[in-house]
């Protein structure tokens, strides 16, 4: 009996600010302007297929996941690659970040799974990579779990989304309409969150009042970010834009994010590191990403911060900026 094996992985993504652009009837043309950080930690998927009746069994190696996410992935892939239907599939998922905390885990999971199925079938790396982004973008929009994470992941590093939509589309998967630009350097990031999960993304992006506030504030943030060369010289500007966005959009006052940010800033002061690092809210979770203020002084005392936050009841993880997914 023929057995197929394939592996895919994709890091998560933190959105710092965004504008919702979903008016097009075409899924490939929906998305968001915005900016954020691509993470090394995320999702690993291993697909195993045996010739037989088409079905999918999903195993989570470290907790619970969302079966419907992966069922939607294989459903869309089946429409484009009918050969998938010749196999009975088992999909093993390993997540290194929590879901529903603003770390882009639904997008990362969709990319990783789509890649694993295609690699199992022997589809060439570049073709499978591009199709994985397109499939993941469609899954995110169908399920209202995200807008621009996939386009952001296609760029890697510190990204800005300058055109709306999927990063790849069309029969030959040549390009956009979505486009993101990214720059990279070695950078450690601390993610911190409280155990209670945040609201589902759809409760914001499908809510008319929140859409108006978020989009107005996101457009304002992008006015300067979208101009000029995108490189490390824009780091301070990115931080300032992220801080203004959460206030202008009023997201800071929702779900007690203001209390989360206040507590985080106080803990950093207790460490004596307020001159070296800054806390930024992850959209749309109830979580914090702690980043260096100055990229020339980014070797901050991570152990000290992690210990202080853990003592205060936060869950934390030390990760890195990712150059690509």
CA distances (Å), 240 to each of 130, 154, 221, 237, 280, in order?
A: 33, 24, 9, 5, 10
pLDDT reported for residue 117 = 98
Whether the pLDDT of residue 325 is over 50: the answer is no
Burial (CB count within 10 angstroms: exposed 0-12, middle 13-18, buried 19+), residue 261: middle
Tell me phi and psi for residue 181, to 5 degrees.
-120, 140
Q: Are residues 159 and 16 in the same domain?
A: yes
Residue 292 lies in a domain: yes
Q: Are residues 132 and 214 in the same domain?
A: no
Average pLDDT, the chain: 95
Q: Are residues 147 and 228 in the same domain?
A: no
Q: Are residues 44 and 114 in the same domain?
A: yes
**CATH for 120:** 3.30.230.10
Q: Which range is least confidently modeled, 111-115, 206-210, 295-299, 320-324?
A: 295-299
Whether the pLDDT of residue 198 is over 70: the answer is no
Q: Are residues 209 and 108 in the same domain?
A: no
Whether the pLDDT of residue 284 is over 90: the answer is no
Residues ≥6 apart with Cβ < 8 Å to 319: 39, 40, 41, 97, 188, 189, 190, 191
Q: Work out the pLDDT band at 200, boundaries 50, 70, 90.
A: low
How many Cβ atoms are within 10 Å of 254's Cβ, its own excluded? 18
Strand partners, 10: 43
pLDDT reported for residue 62 = 83
Tell me phi and psi for residue 310, to 5 degrees.
-65, -40
Q: Are residues 172 and 271 in the same domain?
A: no
Residue 325 lies in a domain: no
Mean pLDDT of 54-65: 92
pLDDT reported for residue 156 = 97
Q: Are residues 59 and 162 in the same domain?
A: yes
Residue 16 lies in a domain: yes
Q: Are residues 297 and 315 in the same domain?
A: yes
pLDDT digits (tens, 9 = 90+) for 89-109: 999 999 999 999 999 999 999
Q: Are residues 176 and 193 in the same domain?
A: no
**CATH for 257:** 3.30.70
pLDDT reported for residue 199 = 63
The last residue of one of the domains, among 165, 183, 201, is 183
Q: Are residues 48 and 161 in the same domain?
A: yes
pLDDT digits (tens, 9 = 90+) for 209-228: 999 999 999 999 999 999 99
Half-sphere exposure of 151 (CA within 13 A, CB side): 31
Whether the pLDDT of residue 314 is over 70: the answer is yes
Mean pLDDT of 106-128: 97
Q: Are residues 159 and 216 in the same domain?
A: no
Rounded to an integer, what distance in angstroms lies between the CA atom of residue 253 and that of residue 261? 10
**What's the domain count of the chain?**
2
pLDDT reported for residue 149 = 97
Cβ atoms of 15 and 34 closer than 8 Å? yes
Q: Are residues 149 and 291 in the same domain?
A: no
Mean pLDDT of 116-141: 97
Residue 41 lies in a domain: yes
Residue 261 lies in a domain: yes
pTM for the model stands at 0.95
The last residue of one of the domains, among 183, 216, 251, is 183
Quickly list DSSP for 123-175.
--HHHHHHHHHHHHHHHHHHHTS-SSHHHHHHH-SEEEEEE-S-SSBTTTT-B
pLDDT digits (tens, 9 = 90+) for 145-188: 999 999 999 999 999 999 999 999 998 999 889 999 999 999 99
Domain carrying residue 298:
188-320
């Amino acid at each position: 009996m023929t057995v197929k094996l394939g592996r895919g992985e994709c890091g998560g993504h933190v959105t710092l600010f965004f504008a919702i652009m979903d008016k097009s009837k075409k899924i490939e043309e929906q998305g968001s302007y915005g900016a954020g950080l691509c993470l090394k930690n995320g999702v690993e998927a291993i697909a195993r297929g045996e010739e037989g009746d088409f079905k999918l069994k999903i195993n989570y190696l470290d907790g619970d996941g969302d079966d419907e996410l992966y069922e939607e992935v294989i459903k869309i892939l089946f429409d484009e690659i009918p050969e998938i239907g010749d196999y009975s599939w088992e999909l093993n998922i390993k997540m290194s970040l929590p879901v529903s905390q603003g770390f882009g885990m639904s997008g990362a999971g969709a990319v990783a799974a789509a890649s694993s199925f295609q690699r199992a079938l022997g589809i060439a790396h570049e073709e499978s990579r591009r199709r994985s982004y397109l499939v993941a973008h469609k899954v995110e929009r169908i399920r209202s779990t995200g807008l621009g994470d996939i386009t952001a992941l296609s760029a890697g590093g510190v990204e800005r989304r300058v055109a709306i939509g999927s990063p790849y589309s069309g029969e030959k998967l040549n390009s956009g309409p979505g486009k993101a630009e990214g720059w990279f350097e070695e950078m450690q990031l601390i993610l911190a969150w409280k155990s209670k999960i945040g609201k589902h993304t759809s409760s914001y992006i499908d809510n008319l009042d929140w859409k108006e506030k978020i989009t107005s504030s996101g457009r304002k943030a992008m006015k300067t970010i979208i101009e000029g060369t995108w490189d490390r010289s824009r780091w301070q500007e990115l931080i300032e834009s992220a801080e203004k966005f959460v206030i202008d959009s009023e997201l800071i006052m929702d779900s007690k994010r203001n209390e989360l940010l206040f507590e985080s800033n106080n803990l950093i002061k207790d460490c004596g590191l307020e001159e070296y690092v800054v806390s930024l809210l992850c959209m749309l979770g109830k979580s914090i990403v702690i980043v260096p203020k100055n990229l020339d002084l980014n070797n901050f005392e991570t152990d000290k911060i992690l210990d202080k936050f853990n003592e205060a009841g936060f869950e934390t993880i030390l990760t890195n900026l990712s150059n690509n997914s």
